[in-house]
């Protein structure tokens, strides 16, 4: 077990202990971990209540796509595609056969 994995496991154990003190139980099925590194593909096995926590390579947080390699390439492509879709929807409105007064 690497130093990083030991540190993350210690954090999870501490969090589990604190939440347990307040009568809260962490749902392992809904809990995910992600290790962010420019080197990418770093696999860990962290546990809560003796169950393995799923490690993910990317997730959405506050409408932003975060990936394990620390780059935002997928996020940028996603936002460009969304902007293009919205523009194309509006383009149909302006170039359609609507009355000029309605377009204004």
Residues 8 and 32 in one domain: yes
Query: Do 10 and 36 reside in the same domain of the chain?
Result: yes
Give per-residue pLDDT as tens, 49-97.
788 888 888 888 888 888 887 777 888 888 899 899 988 888 877 777 7
> Which tokens sit at 80?
């460009």
Q: What is the pLDDT of residue 34?
A: 81
| 80 and 103 fall within a common domain | yes
DSSP 16-70: HHHHHHTT----TTT-EE----TT-------EETTEEPEE-SEEEETTEEEETTS
Q: Look up the domain containing 30 and give its range.
A: 1-57
Residue 99 CA to residue 8 CA, distance in Å, equals: 62
Predicted local distance difference test score (pLDDT) of residue 84: 92
Query: Per-residue pLDDT tens for 4-57?
Result: 778 888 888 888 888 888 888 888 888 888 877 777 667 777 778 788 888 888
Q: CA nearest 35: which of 23, 49, 45?
A: 45
Q: What gap in Å lies between CA 83 and CA 23, rounded to an integer?
A: 45
Q: Are residues 5 and 51 in the same domain?
A: yes
């Amino acid at each position: 077990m690497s130093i990083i994995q030991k540190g993350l496991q210690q954090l999870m154990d501490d969090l589990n202990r604190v939440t347990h003190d307040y009568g809260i139980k962490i749902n392992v099925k809904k809990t995910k971990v992600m290790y962010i590194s420019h080197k990418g593909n770093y696999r860990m096995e962290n546990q809560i209540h003796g169950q393995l926590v799923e490690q993910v390579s990317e997730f959405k947080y506050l409408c932003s796509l975060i990936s394990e390699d620390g780059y935002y390439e997928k996020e940028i492509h996603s936002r460009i595609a969304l902007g293009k879709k919205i523009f194309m929807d509006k383009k149909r409105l302006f170039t359609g056969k609507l009355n000029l007064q309605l377009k204004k």
